[in-house]
Amino acid sequence: MTSRTATPGSPTDRLLGLFPPGTVIGEDGGLVIGGCQVAEVAERFGTPALLVDESALRARARRYADGLAARWPESRVAFASKAFPCTAVYRLLAEEGLSIDVAGGGELTLALAAGADPSGLVVHGNAKTERELRMAVESRAGLIVIDNFDDIDRLERILAEYPGREQAVLVRVTPDIRPDTHEAVATGQRGSKFGLLVPQAREAIARLRGSDRLRLDGVHVHVGSQILDTEPFARAVAAVAELGEFAVYDVGGGLGARYTYDDRPPSVEEYLDAVVDVARALLPSHARLLIEPGRSMVAEAGVSLYRVVTVKRSGGETFVAVDGGMGDNLEVSLYGQRFEATVAARVGGGEPCRLVGRHCESGDTLSTGVPLRDPRPGDLIAVPATGAYTYSLSNNYNGAVRPPVIFCRDGESRAVVRRETYDDLMRRDLP
C-alpha cells in the first residue's frame, strides 16, 4: 500500500497532528491509521467503531515508563484505567510493564482477567464497598488508597479474618489545589469529594501507624484531569512532601490531552521534569515515586469512526448527522469538550458544519463549526483523540448498541471488543 504525507504546516498536516503518530493519507486520499485504510476497517467492522492504533499506544506507554525511570529509578507508572477499562488495553499496558490503577470491583476484575500483576494494582475510590475492599484484599492488590476513615475501619475488620496478613495502604491527600480545568474533573480543591484535607490526612496517618493490620506505605495526591499546565503538579508534590517521609509517594496523573488545534498540553517529558524536579528537591531520594497517567496515555491512540446518515441545511447551518453520538461519546455533553473531525475520504478543509448524533437529545452534538469537505450520506467521518473516556462512558441511550473496539497495527486490524447486539440489551431482563 502506498501513501502520501501532507505538506508540513498545511491545514491537512495540522489536522493529522491530532491523529495517532504515523497517520497518513493514502494514495486514494483516504486516512490510513496503524497501516490500515480506515475505509476498509469500517467496511469490515461497521460503524460506529472505536479504532486504536496499537503501536501508538505502546509507544506512549514506553515514553512514560522509560522517561520516569530515567529521571527517578525507583519509580512506577500505573495506568489510570478508568480512562479506558478494556481488557485488551489492560493486557497491552501490562505487557509494557505498567502497573494498573483501578477504581471499583469491575475494573479490578478486568485487570486481573487481563493478566495484570496483582502486586502492582493501586485500588482507588471515594466510596469503596466492603465487597470491593474484600476483593482487593483477596486478590492481594499491592496498594489500597485510603480515601476516608471508613476505609480504615472496613479494612481492619476484613484483615482480622486473615491472621498474619498485612495490607499496604496510601492516604489520599486533598491539598486544596484547584487547577484550571472543568469543574467536573477537578479533584484537589477544598470541597472535593475525594481524599482528606491535610489536618485529616495527618490524623489518618497517625492512626495507620498504630495499626497492626494495615501498613502505611505513603501518601497519594491527584488534583484533577485535563490539566494543561505543569504548575499544579509541582504544587501537589510539594504539598505531600510537607507530610513527612514515606516509602511511597503517589503523585497521581491528570496531564491533559490534545483534542483541538488550540490545545497545547505539556509534553510527557515536560510533565515528568516538573514532577521530578520538585521530588528531587523535597522528597527522600530512596522513596518510590508513582504516577498515574490516564487520559494522556490513551486519548491520542483512539479514533472514532462514523457513517453520515443525513446532511441537512437549515437556518444557515449544515447539519451532518451520523450513526453514533452521545451513546459512544459523552465527553461533549458532560464537559463541553470540543473534538475536531474530517471526512475520511476527503481529509481536511471544507465548509463549517454541525456534526450531530442520532440520539433524541438536542445536546447530542459531537462538534460545532467543524470543517467537512463536501459531506454526503454514506461518508465515513473520523474523529481523533477519542481513546480516553469514550469507551468508559458509552451507553445504551435510545437502545443504541455500544460500538466495537478495533486494534490496528502494521496494516492488520482485529476486534478486541465486539459490537453489542440487541440480544445483549435484553440479556439481563427477567420474565
Name the nearest CA neighbour of 412 among 9, 51, 73: 51
Q: How far apart are CA 129 and CA 204, in angstroms?
A: 19
Q: What pLDDT shows up at residue 36? A: 97
Q: How far apart are CA 80 and CA 397, in angstroms?
A: 26
User: Rg (Cα) of the chain, in Å, rounded?
Assistant: 23
Which backbone phi and psi does 209 adopt, to 5 degrees?
-65, -20
Name the nearest CA neighbour of 102 among 173, 368, 43, 89: 89
Residue linked to cell 474523529:
383
pLDDT tens-digit map of 193-233? 889 999 999 999 999 999 999 999 999 999 988 999 999 99
Q: Contact at 8 Å (CB) between 334 and 180?
A: no
Q: How far apart are CA 38 and CA 69, in angstroms?
A: 36
For the segment 294-319, the average pLDDT, to the nearest whole number, is 97
Q: How far apart are CA 246 and CA 162, in angstroms?
A: 26
Instruction: Name the DSSP letter for residue 119.
Output: G
State how far Cα 54 lies from the chain centre. Answer: 15
Residue linked to cell 483523540:
385
All three cell numbers of 6, joined, read 501532507
Band (179; pLDDT cuts 50, 70, 90): confident
Catalytic residues: 360
CB neighbours of 209 closer than 8 A, spacing ≥ 6? Answer: 216
pLDDT tens-digit map of 385-401? 999 999 999 999 999 99
Which backbone phi and psi does 371 adopt, to 5 degrees?
-70, 125
Instruction: Name the DSSP letter for residue 183.
Output: G
User: Burial level of 420, CB count in 10 A (0-12/13-18/19+)?
Assistant: middle
Name the nearest CA neighbour of 231 among 258, 195, 270, 264: 270
Domains of the chain: 3-53+301-426 (2.40.37.10), 72-298 (3.20.20.10)
For the segment 53-75, the average pLDDT, to the nearest whole number, is 98
pTM of the predicted model as reported, rounded to 2 decimal places: 0.94
pLDDT at 4 over 60: no
pLDDT tens-digit map of 308-344? 999 999 999 999 999 999 999 999 999 899 999 999 9
Q: How far apart are CA 233 and CA 236, in angstroms?
A: 5
